[in-house]
Amino acid sequence: MAETSAIEWTDATWNIVTGCSLVSPACTHCYAMRLAGTRLKHHPSRAGLTREVNGKPVWTGEVRINWDWLEQPLQWTRARKIFVAAHGDLFHEKLAASEIATIFAVMIAAHHLHDHILQVLTKRARRMRELLSDPSFWEQVNAEAEAHVMERTDPLERRRDDARATLGEYGADNPPPGIWIGVTAERQPEWDERTEHLRRTPASFRFVSIEPTLGVISMRLVETLILAGESGPMHIAPLPTWLDLVIAGGESGPGARPTPIALFRSLRDQCAAAGVAFDFKQWGEWIDADEFSRMVAPERIAAGPLTFAGATKLGVDCLAPCEHHSDGSTSLRVGKRRAGRLLDGREHNGAREAA
Ligand code: SF4
């Protein structure tokens, strides 16, 4: 676990769960798997979670709860955004419902006591929806959260500061504040399947992370209400969207796949049309050639789209790390640090700005 994080949309990671199994095309270059099999291979939280296949670490399928770290968010007193189980999946099928409830109870208490924002992101959207809709799950969560809060509030102070000592009765009809519930989706099929569960999951804040962005996604964010008018014609009224935030980004690390800029623009524009906050996290290893030329040599903009020769002049070796897309755009592999996070010349900071 870490009190700080390099992930742009959070402040800290709480690695209460480590170990996982691949469920989606986006898992192919799983960062957590690589880390568990290399740098953290001998760390007690990761040892034995991967084995080597063709020289690369692959999950064994074991999932571990790091119980020693259970109360970490309760010990951090300065309010921050905390990414829960950043190196695993909180709703993995190998975890018991009661274990997930115990983790949830800490999340609720951590928000209540210290104003932390807890961010949960899963690819197991169906299980998340089922659990967060189950009254017996909430019964356990409420009881354990209450115990954490009582243990940490002085009995004398409790009388003076009743609000701090008194927790709400949370459940499907009253989801707890301060907990972001999200799914990841990389292409249309994953978007359709997972966001349908997310939409029906009780939550006070819902978000989707599209990283890496691997295909065109039509978000279908705004539902429409169709009313029959008395004189015949139908009246169509947009309903407020159920989604609070979309985070998008490209892939980083070895074997990273490039994303055409048009896909990011489309996500940004759909969010703007639906009134959903948008965060462009990063380009990743690859960046659009024109975006890169705008960054490193703004005067080139007038000269039109970047060519191989132009890219070479900018110091980019275009022999291997160039990929041409069917829409006519080109991606350059310049590395995550150089690629940065400007989209059409500006930052999009929806996650940082979200309450
Ligand atoms: S679900 Fe997440 S942690 Fe699990 S394998 Fe896929 S990318 Fe890695």
Reported as a single tens digit per residue, the pLDDT across 100-156 is: 999 999 999 999 999 999 999 999 999 999 999 999 999 999 999 999 998 988 776
Q: Which amino acid is at 276?
A: V
CA gap 280, 345 in Å, rounded: 12
**C-alpha 315: how far from chain center:** 33
pLDDT of 319 over the 50 cut: no
Average pLDDT, the chain: 88
The pair of structure tokens assigned to 202 is 């009780």
- In sign, the C-alpha dihedral spanning 2, 7, 10, 15 is negative
Q: Encode pLDDT of 91-113 as tens digits.
A: 999 999 999 999 999 999 999 99
The pLDDT tens digits for 250-279 are 999 888 999 999 999 999 999 999 999 999
Q: pTM surpassing 0.75?
A: yes
Amino acid sitting at position 354: A
Q: Is the pLDDT of residue 162 over 70?
A: no
User: What is the residue extent of each domain of the chain?
Assistant: 12-210
pLDDT at 343: 97
Please give the pLDDT value at position 352: 86
Q: Tell me what percent of the residues of the chain surpass a pLDDT of 90.
A: 71
Q: Where are the alpha helices (DSSP H) in 228-288?
A: 261-274
- pLDDT > 70 fraction of the chain, expressed in percent and rounded: 84
Q: Of 7, 56, 69, 49, which Cα lies nearest the Cα of 28?
A: 56
Report the nearest atom of ligand 1 relative to the CA of 20: 4
Q: What is the pLDDT of residue 355?
A: 63
Picking from 207, 181, 203, 355, the residue whose alpha carbon sits closest to that of residue 267 is 207
Residues at CB less than 6 angstroms from ligand 1: 20, 22-23, 27, 30, 32-33, 88-89, 123
Q: Which residue has the tokens 């007038």?
A: 302
- Side-chain half-sphere exposure of 256, counting CA atoms within 13 A: 26
Q: Give distance in angstroms: CA of 13 to centre of ligand 1.
A: 15
Give the residue among 278, 282, 269, 280 at the shortest CA–CA distance from 334: 282
Give 284 Cα–ligand 1 centroid separation in angstroms. Answer: 18
Give the 3-state DSSP-derived string for 157-214, with helices as H, strands as E and coil as C: HHHHCHHHHCCCCCECCECCCCEEEEEECCCHHHHHHHHHHHHCCCCCEEEEEECCCC
Q: 89 CA to middle of ligand 1, Å?
A: 7
Ligand 1, pocket-test mutation among 49, 123, 184, 251, most atoms within 8 A of CB: 123
Which residue's C-alpha comes closest to atom 4 of ligand 1? 20
Lookup: tokens for 83 = 């990414």
Question: 29 CA distance to ligand 1 centroid (A)?
Answer: 9
Say if residues 91 and 100 touch (Cβ distance below 8 Å). Answer: yes
Task: Give 352 Cα–ligand 1 centroid separation in angstroms.
Answer: 23
Side-chain half-sphere CA neighbours of 144 within 13 A: 20
> Is 265 in a helix, a strand, or coil?
helix
User: What's the average model confidence in pLDDT over 32-48?
Assistant: 93
Report CA(291)–ligand 1 centroid distance (Å): 30
